[in-house]
Structure 1
Amino acid sequence: MTTRRMSRFRRAALAIVLPVVVVGAVAACGDPAAPEATPSAGLHMIANDGHRLAFHVTPGHSPTLVLDAGGGEDSSYWNTLLPRLSRATGSRIITYDRAGMGASDEVKGRWDGRAAAADLHAGLRELGITRDVILVSHSQAGEVATYFARANPNVLSGAVLVDANLPQFFTDTQIQRIVALTAPQIEALEKQPSTKENRQLIATAENFGPTHQAYHQVSWPDRVPVTVIVSEKTPFDGSPQDAQHWRDAAAEFVAAGPGRTLVTAHASSHDVPKDNPALVLREVEQLAATG
């Protein structure tokens, strides 16, 4: 691997994979018998486990689309795509800031995917949304989606995972590569002035290996249909070996269960919602129409 390619891989690992640490599984279930609520439009600050989270509601009908951004991004990531989704589907749309991002409170300690999934579940329940939800999850949010789906399959009618972190990607070999290559960047961050963004990256890196070894063993529930969009360039455009592993992981995920569809975002970087919003719009619209 050339020096230039190694540098690109390190940047991808830090920006895409490190903001991705998820573990365990949350214990909750949907309540399909509960009547659907109609939450008011705008910002809702919702408390869960001692911290507050920012949820934003765009009115519409069911199914409810929940847009979850990747690592290092908050709800504003969806500002361009959101109105197009609203017009095309007529669906209610929820965007939110995970703990430590945007307007949501920070939580001390390492980033915990179980807590992230629990935060999302708590927010939806507080808004009265307990069924007919479609997750649209980019990058790191794919891990949150996986744990949420395992714990709350009755809440979901489907998901669109957009170049998302999938369990099949995190083999022992890949985890070791990522940990080794990102260690210098994390050490450098720890020496810099403490900022909200830096603290989030450092928290995400803590205990990376064991948490992703656990995530590697997790499977998507068969009862929840899912569309997987994989970018042609992947997060590792400068490293053919890692890019191929990313694409292979997406194919393995889709082959592992029923009701799964694989779509390639041709000529797109990892940032598919920005590079090819029409593709994301089409796949969400199709799932919403059939869900």
Structure 2
Amino acid sequence: MSRTTPSRRSLNRALSALALLAVAAGGVTACSDNDSASKPSAPASAASPVSPGTAQAGEAKLHMVDNGGHRLAFYVTQGNDSTIVLDSGGGEYSSQWKGIAPELHAATGATVITYDRAGLGKSDVVPGAWKAESAVSDLKAGLKQLGVTKDVTLVSHSQAGEVANYFAKDNSKMLSGAVLIDANLPQFFTDEEIPRLVAATQPEVDAAKKDPDKPANRQLISVTEGFAPAHQAFHKVAWPESVPATVMVSEKTPFDGSPQDAQRWRDAAASFVQEAPNRTLVTAKGTSHEVPTERPDLVLKAIEGMFAAQH
């Protein structure tokens, strides 16, 4: 049976194995401006717990934190004792939230934190396969060094959904709620779907291996290593019933060109929501996978609603 090829850019953003590449002008290029991963990291400086007065009102302050010998860039807009953490989609970094973060801070008064996952933005490259568990370790280490231990509203787009699920599983008491925006969810990664995803990305992986030192290619290779077993394990992860969640699904999904995969994406979100009464499903009408960019108003409404419901 033949299958229709999904939208490559959206597919690449959504799935951790496809996180960084998009096909443009007949060649493979990094999405957005993610070649910044090749830029030198900011000078190392010890992170200090966030507290009132560390920056001017509404201003994001850079904190470099250390986790196991590599540095990560965290940006903190100081507010009250409640915290909203914005976690970017695959291949994106803190700049994805540059329009949303200040609006959230102004609307809620909360401390707003964005950050660059390893190998992106100002954060150090970490050799080897990308693992959601390692990303969780980085996020938790950063929050701990910044003095954030509770009352966190976690907002995750796309690939960051994997980080969110593992983080919530082991750190549910830190979370007051979550907003998952067209996010990778365990229910999607079935034994039927995983081989389809691997096959869909193999041409890009093969091309990347011809120039492995290019930042975008390095990232793609790292997230495709061990993809199948990693996502078989992810499929078994259960979101804690104590943490409320809003799940926002784009209308077109990352699979606009593949009706079967698109329906599986929608079904996964619906299944996730149906597992507990404190979960809500929202469809972002008229959007592709790039919901934070296309409809920041909807994203702000969802986050502010979750935040208000818990405070």
What is the TM-score of this pair, normalised by structure 2?
0.84
Whether 1:98 aligns to 2:117 is yes
Contact 1:13 1:178 in 2 (8 A): no
Is 1:225 aligned with 2:244?
yes
> What residue number does 2:15 align with?
17
Measure the CA separation in 2 of the matches of 1:12 and 1:212.
19
Name structure 2 gaps, 5 residues minimum: 20-48, 56-60
Task: Give the gaps of 5 or more residues in structure 1.
Answer: 22-35
Distance 1:202 1:113, change over 3 A: same
1:129 offset after TM fit, Å? 0.5
Higher helix share: 1
Are the structure 2 counterparts of residues 99 and 65 from structure 1 closer, same or farther at C-alpha, using a change threshold of 3 Å? Answer: same
Match of 2:202 in 1: 183
Q: Determine what percentage of the aligned residue pairs are the same residue.
A: 57
What CA deviation, in whole Å up to 9, does each residue of 1:59-87 have, x standing for no partner?
11132000000000010111111122122
1:38 — aligned with what? 51
Q: Which residue of 1 aligns with 2:227?
A: 208
For residue 254 of structure 1, what is the aligned residue in structure 2?
Answer: 273
Q: Compared with structure 1, are the counterparts of its residues 283 and 240 closer, same or farther at alpha carbon in structure 2 (3 Å cutoff)?
A: same
> Relative CO higher for 1 or 2, CA cutoff 8 Å, sep ≥ 6?
1
Q: Structure 1 pair 193/142, CA: closer, same or farther in 2 (3 Å)?
A: closer
How far, CA to CA, are the matches of 2:192 and 2:63 in structure 1? 42
| CA displacement at 1:58 relative to structure 2 | 0.5
Counterparts of 1:134-283 in structure 2, within 5 Å, are 134-192=153-211, 194-283=213-302
Kept in 1: contact 2:287–2:295 (CA 8 A): yes
**Counterpart-to-counterpart distance in 2, 1:73 and 1:37:** 24
Evaluate the alpha carbon distance shift between residue 149 and residue 73 of structure 1 in structure 2; reply closer, same or farther with a 3 A threshold: same
Give the CA deviation at 1:216.
0.4
Deviation at 1:269, TM superposition (A): 0.7
Residues 159 and 20 of structure 1, relative CA distance in 2, 3 Å threshold: farther
- Residues 273 and 73 of structure 1: is their aligned pair in 2 closer, same or farther, counting only changes over 3 Å? same
Instruction: Say whether the 8 Å CA contact 1:131–1:154 is kept in structure 2.
Output: yes
RMSD in angstroms over aligned alpha carbons?
Answer: 1.8
Q: Which runs of 4+ in 1 moved over 6 A?
A: none
Rounded to whole Å, the distance in 2 between the matches of 1:263 and 1:62 is 28
Contact persistence 1:61–1:91 (CA under 8 A) = yes
Q: Deviations over 1:96-119 (max 9, x none)?
A: 000111100010100011110011
Structure 2 SS opposite 1:95: strand
TM-score (norm 1): 0.90
| CA spacing shift, 1:2–1:176, aligned 2, 3 Å | closer
